[in-house]
Amino acid sequence: MNSRRNFIKTAGLGMAALQLKPADLWSADNSNPLLFDFWLWVRPQNSDTTEQLKKRYQSYKEAGIRGLFFEDYSKRHFQLAKEYGLETHRWMWTMNRGEKELLEQHPEYYAVNRLGQSCADQPPYVGYYRFLCPSHPDVPKYLEEKARVQMEKEDVDGLHLDYIRYPDVVLPVNLWPDYDLDQSTELPAYDFCYSKYSKEAFLKETGIDINKVERPEQSPSWRSFRYRQINKVVNRICEVAKEYKKPVTAAVFPTPDLARRIVRQDWTNWNLSGVFPMIYHGFYKEPVHWIGTAVAEGVAGIHGKFPLYAGLYLPDFKNLEELRQGIMLAKDNGAAGVSLFGESDFDLATIELLQSLR
């Protein structure tokens, strides 16, 4: 369980890339030449002193990092980062919302599995897995308002969506032992969303009562419906972002096929400014070379609609040379940049590596 929690919650070194200024990135025009830049995922800490932040942000800028994804909003952190010419984007948990007030006031907002268990009181895997139901009529508006709150801030340059999906119907294979699970088949406890709102919307759209389908997890129309429910939420937020002239990006699962199959995530059909597939090869027991394969699949899937930036997980690499190999595999297969996430024994040397690759 600890490895799963760390996989999702780690606040270590993480870098990614965008090639346009915030004022331009939301546009569908991606005709500008791509640069191979880096960004950093961070969780701002109140204990950070101003001097620490200045030194840190200066080192990021000198290493060629373009900007930062902040998991929380902190005016001090955002403004100091901007003083050093870094872009500041708000990293927002989207479908996974465990606020106490929301749980207490609107338990009906939450996703339900095939057994009829709600994320509101029986979350899968870990206690913070409190996913919303995208088919509830009030949920898309609720999430739009949450996005607006962030985009209205002058020092927020863009929005970065995370957990924009259903709970994992299948975990990465490397995590199965942590939960004493064999997910070779789709288990009902992890198959979402079977809320009354999802069922009613599906019946209205297709004429199919999912309760009467013998093997609902094998129904192509039911699967496609759930993809599109998430798509509508993302694209609604992307449309709203145009009012603010700010980009929307998203952290997604490694390839279009894996994303659809294991978390019902159809990210090739989102109207993003850029996408960040988490190509964490170690979680899937794949060699480093798989990074290039995954990037190539993602680039082919989006057909130039928006740039793709490969997310790499630092603890999966044995040394800096292997990390360099992963970065070059991403670049050679069409990635516009690379994101790095997690802690490793060679974090301090990573800045030097990035400088050498600029």
Query: For the segment 129-144, what is each residue's pLDDT rounded down to a tens digit?
Result: 999 999 999 999 999 9
Share the mean pLDDT of the chain: 89
- Give the Å distances, CA to CA, from 97 to 101, 119, 120, 128, 261: 10, 10, 10, 8, 22
Return phi, psi of residue 135, to 5°: -85, -10
pLDDT at 304: 95
pLDDT at 26: 38
More confident residue, 206 or 23: 206
Mean pLDDT, residues 155-163: 97
pLDDT at 352: 75
pLDDT band, residue 36 (cuts 50/70/90): confident
CA distance 311 to 322: 15
pLDDT band, residue 4 (cuts 50/70/90): very low
SS3 of residue 274 by DSSP: strand
CA distance 72 to 36: 26
More confident residue, 114 or 343: 114
pLDDT at 338: 86
pLDDT at 14: 39
Q: What percent of the chain has pLDDT over 70?
A: 88
pLDDT at 356: 77
Please give the radius of gyration of the chain, using alpha carbons only, rounded to the nearest integer.
20
For residue 285, pLDDT over 50 is answered with: yes
Least confident range from 59-63, 100-104, 149-153: namely: 59-63
Contact 277, 284 (CB under 8 A): no
Mean pLDDT, residues 24-38: 51
pLDDT band, residue 23 (cuts 50/70/90): very low
Q: Where does the chain show beta strands of DSSP type E?
A: 37-42, 65-70, 87-93, 158-162, 248-252, 274-277, 309-313, 337-341
Contacts of 226 (CB under 8 A, 6+ apart): 166, 193, 198, 264
In CATH terms, the fold of domain 94-260 is TIM Barrel (3.20.20)
For residue 305, pLDDT over 70 is answered with: yes
Mean pLDDT, residues 301-311: 95
CA angle centred on 294, ends 291 and 298, rounded to 5° = 135
pLDDT at 180: 95
pLDDT at 24: 44
More confident residue, 32 or 75: 75
Contacts of 339 (CB under 8 A, 6+ apart): 14, 15, 16, 17, 38, 39, 41, 276, 309, 310, 311, 312
Question: Among 358, 306, 317, 307, which residue's Cα sits nearest to residue 341?
Answer: 317
> For the segment 210-252, what is each residue's pLDDT rounded down to a tens digit?
999 999 999 999 999 999 999 999 999 999 999 999 999 999 9
pTM: 0.89
Contact 217, 242 (CB under 8 A): no
CA distance 275 to 266: 12
pLDDT at 2: 39
- The CB density around residue 107, as the number of other CB atoms within 10 Å, is 12
pLDDT band, residue 350 (cuts 50/70/90): confident
Exposed e or buried b for every residue in 50-89, given b needs 16+ CB within 10 A? eeebeebbeebbebbbbbbbbbebbeebbebbbebebbbb
pLDDT at 6: 42
More confident residue, 43 or 96: 96
Contacts of 56 (CB under 8 A, 6+ apart): 48
